[in-house]
Amino acid sequence: MSIPRDKIPWYPTIDEQVCTNCGICVDFCQNGVYAVHDIRTVVVAPYNCVIGCSNCESQCTPEVIHFPNLEQFVIMLRQLRTQYGP
- pLDDT tens per residue across span 14-63: 999 999 999 999 999 999 999 999 999 999 999 999 999 999 999 999 99
Q: What is the DSSP letter of 3?
A: S
CB of 12 closer than 8 Å to CB of 33: yes
Q: Give the fold, CATH level 3, of 5-84.
A: Alpha-Beta Plaits (3.30.70)
Question: How far apart are the C-alpha atoms of 60 and 19, rounded to whole Å?
Answer: 9
**Residue type at position 76:** M
Identify the pLDDT of residue 85.
78
Left, alpha or beta for 21 (phi > 0: left; psi -120 to 50: alpha)? left
From the list 18, 15, 6, the residue with the least C-alpha distance to 48 is 6
Identify the pLDDT of residue 40.
95
* Domain boundaries along the sequence of the chain: 5-84
- pLDDT tens per residue across span 56-84: 999 999 999 999 999 999 999 999 999 99
pTM of the model: 0.89
Using the predicted structure, report yes or no on whether residue 1 has a pLDDT greater than 90. no
